Amino acid sequence: MPNIHSIAFIKKAGVIACFFLIAHISVRATDKVWLFNPEVQKAYQLVLNLQPEMAMAQLAKVPDKSNELYKMYIVSLSETADVLITEDPTKIELLERNFKQRLESLDKLASGPEVLFLQAELNLQRGFNMLNNGQEFNAVFAIRRAYNITNECIKKYPDFIPIKKTYGVLQVMLGSIPEKYAWFMGILGMRGSVVVGQKNLGDLRVSKSSLSSEATILLFTVKGFINQQFGEAAKGMMDYLKEQPESKLGLFVAINMLMKDSQAETALTLFQTLDKIPQGLSMYYADYLHGDALLQKGEYQKAIACYQKFQKGYRSQSFKKDSYYKIGICHWLLNDPANAKINFEKAKVTGKESAEPDKYAAKQLEESYLANQKLLKARFATDGGYYDQAALALQSIAPTELKIKKEQAELLYRKARLAHKLHDYTTAKSYYQQCINFTNDNPWYFAANSALQMGYLAQEQKDYASAKKYFELALSYKRHEYKNSIDSKAKFALEQIKNAAKG
């Protein structure tokens, strides 16, 4: 849930006037599932459609004071989603002020399940906002408060359904945290389990709660990014879109899952749908993903245009380095080395190296040679699901063509990935093992991910001893660009094996 990379339209006075009349709230009997009335539900759906201004206008039509806690939740969710998507630094500061005001207002109310849920949820959202703003230390303590309040709510009110969302997210997040941070979380008394987190999100998803839509999106995001069950996650999100076809958030998550499942062609149809919904938040990160899909398809000029649109609109420095690197790749694959080198040089001095694609780009930019075009085409075509193109590219590589050991290792890895995607598991395992043996302890991710994939193949065959061996091997690699994500996936898989043994 695993970095699961995102307010101007609400003036401070307006927030206080409309949504912070907490002192006058008439607290009704606890709603154990949180089933919104039609007016509030419409505003909530507009938030999931990433149309915050329309959502706020809709909430303004709901004068009933008994809905104030619902409204606070919806406004806070809207603002948090806005900041995470737009990365606007002015909104980050405003959101932090709003969090403080809301939490102070909640402190004045009698404690109960709904108040505890909101305190936990707002602290969790605040932690995400702080992480997004580079305040890692403060973020940890906001998340710890959310963790403690969530456990208090569950202990006192075990039948209160909404808390399953906060608890589920926390469990997934803490259960998939990289090993180098786990000890610190343990000192703070926080431990998690991805399996437990998924169970809680699943329970909320099938409940009568209005929060079931959020649980659906969160659950399939976890199934994809943590479980590597991209096919199931993509199908789940496509089913969700049948019910909510204008949910920009749903479209965004579905696109992510489709691309991770090597379904770039289907993802390209969803980009067209997204483009037909101009209202709401601008999703420049979707332009970055659109560029990736077109790069995978081999439409390099169109990909360049998408990356450039992303660069102009996206406020964060994340993915900027990678986008310039990929523009360079597009030019290189168009046999334009001069423009390729220009963009590679821009990539070297642009952005930061916190996101894994940026780390990977930075590593590639350290090389003194231009990458082999055929390997690049094989990589992107395989990632996009264009397997015929990938096979042709790999078949065209002569045995003596690759002089550099890293590219020789990558050839083994690319052959393994393509065979795996084509369900030729015997061939895939052979190439994965060759890649592991050949790579040895070099700081490339090929061996680490080969070990991870070998673990998955063994796990599917219920050969848990072999699976455990390979997942532990994946964790053992200390230096590569995708360490955080591969480690998170391996840790979750080991947890699954442990639970299977108990069962």
**364 within a domain of the structure (yes/no):** no
CA distances from 393 to 134, 383, 386 (A): 41, 13, 11
Domain final residue pick, 158, 182, 209: 209
pLDDT of 77 = 94
Q: Can you list the pairs that 377-382 forms with residues at least 24 positions away whose Cβ atoms lie under 8 Å?
A: 377/298, 377/333, 378/414, 378/418, 379/410, 379/414, 380/295, 380/296, 380/298, 381/296, 381/298, 382/262, 382/414, 382/417, 382/418, 382/421
**302 within a domain of the structure (yes/no):** no
Q: How far apart are CA 385 and CA 379, in angstroms?
A: 10
**1 within a domain of the structure (yes/no):** no
pLDDT of 17 = 28
CATH classification at residue 473: 1.25.40.10
| 309-327 as b/e: b if 16+ CB within 10 A | bbbeebebebbbbbbbbbb
Contact indicator for 280, 50 with CB cutoff of 8 Å: yes
Specify whether the backbone of 332 is left (phi greater than 0), alpha (psi in -120 to 50) or beta. alpha
For the chain, the domain total comes to 2
Contact indicator for 284, 313 with CB cutoff of 8 Å: yes
**231 within a domain of the structure (yes/no):** no
Q: Phi and psi (nearest 5°) for 228?
A: 65, 20
**323 within a domain of the structure (yes/no):** no
**236 within a domain of the structure (yes/no):** no
pLDDT of 28 = 46
Neighbours of 199 (CB within 10 A): 16
**27 within a domain of the structure (yes/no):** yes
Residues of the chain with pLDDT under 50: 1-29
**317 within a domain of the structure (yes/no):** no
Q: Using one digit for the tens of pLDDT, what is the confidence trace for 148-169? A: 999 999 999 999 999 999 999 9
Closest CA to 122 of 9, 237, 20: 20
Instruction: Write out the two tokens for 32.
Output: 């154990």
Contact indicator for 220, 168 with CB cutoff of 8 Å: no
Closest CA to 224 of 203, 193, 249, 253: 253
Contact indicator for 355, 319 with CB cutoff of 8 Å: yes
pTM of the model: 0.83
Q: How far apart are CA 152 and CA 365, in angstroms?
A: 49
pLDDT of 181 = 64
Domain final residue pick, 185, 209, 233: 209
Q: Phi and psi (nearest 5°) for 424?
A: -95, 80
Domain final residue pick, 209, 239, 270: 209
pLDDT of 183 = 59
pLDDT of 7 = 30
Q: Supply the range of the domain harboring residue 116.
A: 12-209
